[in-house]
Amino acid sequence: MEYRMEKLFPVYAMGLSKANVGGDVSLEILDSIVGDPIWDAVREEAKLEAEKEPILSSFLYASILSHDCLEQALAFVLANRLHNLTLLATQLMDIIGKVILNDRDIQRAIRLDMQAFKDRDPSCLSHCSVLLYLKGYHSLQSYRVAHALWNHGRKELALALQSRISEVFGVDIHPAAQIGEEILLDHATGVVIGETAVVGNRVSLMQGVTLGGSGKEIGDRHPKVAQGALIGASATILGNIKIGEGAMIAAGSLVLKDVPPHSMVAGIPARLIGHVHEQDPSLTMKHGTSKYQHAHHAFLQNHFIHI
């Protein structure tokens, strides 16, 4: 199945590098040739909003229109959300900007994530609003910076950033966790992702999701979520278990065992209630199809009605 993102911006977001076009072409020249549709959309939307709401014009100029690229604008937005009396906004902007501008994987991910929010969240008005207002996007991109710092041996700074992300956004992602791209953290409040957790590409997680350990064991102890999975609100997934590709976890479920690919599970503890026919339920975000609702209702009746 050809993924629609490749049609939207097939070159920039798909990570074209010097190796693809010849070693003598610089990234700056490459970017000017290729362009950046996501950044263009953000800027145009910001201009329109500044015209409609003059009271926001200074805010929009400082956050978006005064910057040369999405990386700089994102660094500005995150720094101004995360700063406090001892972590100054100017310091954070410098750190975040340097990390993003020197990491092509992050540059690709911030665009694919932004499009994921725009495509999958029906309340999302624009690419501009993702950048400015959605804390799920902010916490995810802040994690990406912390993850890069962690991998470069700057673990104390990465942990300090994790702490601020948790305080400001209510999202606690360990900087050592591995998270793919095209990710949606919808609403995001209360999301917890542990140190050895792995989240594949094109996954959607609702608010309150926990990818946690099951005790005090050390080592590889957190869930592995394959691509395309959809995890419902307040679902808790514990231990070094596998959530298969394209699986769907019902809201409020407690998952303690592996979940097969393209299956639906629900309950406490979660049990198999059906199968998913879509390639990536994370993209359609259909938590409540009639077949799923019927299966979930029957499951609850059979297991909880006589408590």
- Cα 45 to chain center, whole Å? 22
Q: 266 forms bridges with which residues in the sheet?
A: 271
- Asked whether the beta carbons of 232 and 250 are under 8 A apart, the reply is yes
> Backbone phi, then psi, for 203, in 5-degree steps?
-95, 145
Would you call 199 helix, strand, or coil by DSSP? Answer: strand
Residues of the chain with pLDDT under 50: 1-27, 29-30, 33, 290, 293-294, 300, 304-307
Q: Which structural domain, as residue segments, surrounds residue 75?
A: 36-170
- My answer on whether 95 and 124 are in the same domain is yes
Establish if 18 belongs to a structural domain.
no
User: What is residue 185's predicted lDDT score, i.e. its pLDDT?
Assistant: 97
User: What is residue 32's predicted lDDT score, i.e. its pLDDT?
Assistant: 52
Per-residue pLDDT tens over the stretch 191-233: 999 999 999 999 999 999 999 998 777 899 999 999 999 999 9
- My answer on whether 123 and 210 are in the same domain is no
- My answer on whether 60 and 164 are in the same domain is yes
- My answer on whether 143 and 243 are in the same domain is no
DSSP β-ladder status, 263-266 and 271-275: antiparallel
- My answer on whether 239 and 292 are in the same domain is yes
Establish if 12 belongs to a structural domain.
no
- My answer on whether 60 and 130 are in the same domain is yes
User: What is residue 2's predicted lDDT score, i.e. its pLDDT?
Assistant: 37
- What is the token pair recorded at 278? 């879509």
Establish if 15 belongs to a structural domain.
no
- What is the token pair recorded at 78? 């995150």
- What is the token pair recorded at 203? 């996954």
User: What is residue 34's predicted lDDT score, i.e. its pLDDT?
Assistant: 62
- My answer on whether 161 and 181 are in the same domain is no
